[in-house]
Amino acid sequence: MSNLTQNLVNPNTQPLVIGEFSIRQDDDGRYCLNDLHKASGDDKKHFPAYFLRNQQTKDLIEEIERYANSHIGQNINSANLQSAVKIINGGNSRGTYVVKELVYSYAMWISAKFHLQVIRAYDSMV
């Protein structure tokens, strides 16, 4: 997705750029882990699915969603449930999309160097 397309999808946000990679976002502003994986070097041992299977990641997702949903005044069965992870299986937006906190956690899981790159890229975007 080009930067222009990115901004049309989410006009209130700038794209997160790491090196030569522009990290796509979904309509809710979540970032694409598949794009982050490519930006990190595309090492097979760092597939997003492996990260999401990690118990510490599962615990973090649960905590993020619990916090988000307690702050929108809805119960857990509500249709307005805020999800930290969204998987899109078809079309041009195919990928696994996650909230910013999981972007940081994924980068930290890969390496200290990549974690620092993500922090600096996000800081320069904001």
Task: Categorize the per-residue pLDDT at 55 as very low, low, confident or very high, splitting at 50, 70 and 90.
Answer: very high
> What distance in Å separates the CA atoms of residue 96 and residue 118, rounded to the nearest whole number?
17
Distances (CA, A) of 59 to 35, 66, 123, 124: 23, 10, 26, 29
Beta bridge partners of 118: none
Mean pLDDT of the chain: 85
Percent of the chain with pLDDT over 90: 69
